Amino acid sequence: MCGSISKRVVSTAATILAFTPAQALACPVCALVGSGDNTWAYKAMSVMLIMLPLVMIGGAVFWLSRMATLADAELPSPERRKRT
């Protein structure tokens, strides 16, 4: 029973793979990649889209931790000792 199921899974996966294109296009405009200029733009925009959220999240974490430090510094000393 188990063997027949795994055979079906393998044969289904093999059928799907047989029809898989050699290159999967992740976005509609990737189809345009071909000319030199376009490839450069594609790579530059990929870097921008990877870095932008990291920079934004990193900036927000840094800013929040700085605000927390400043808020701690404003606490009266016994309160601060209790928190630390």
CB contact set of 56 (below 8 Å; sequence gap of 6+) = none
Residues written for the chain: 84
Tokens of 36: 């030199």
Nearest to another protein of 6, 40 (CB atom)? 40
Q: How far is the CB of 18 from another protein (least distance, A)?
A: 31
Segments in the chain forming alpha helices (H): 2-18, 36-74, 77-83
- 9 or 56, CB closer to another protein? 56
Contacts with another protein by CB under 8 A lie at 27-30, 32-35, 37-38, 40-42, 44-45, 48-49, 52-53, 56-57, 60, 64, 67-68, 70-71
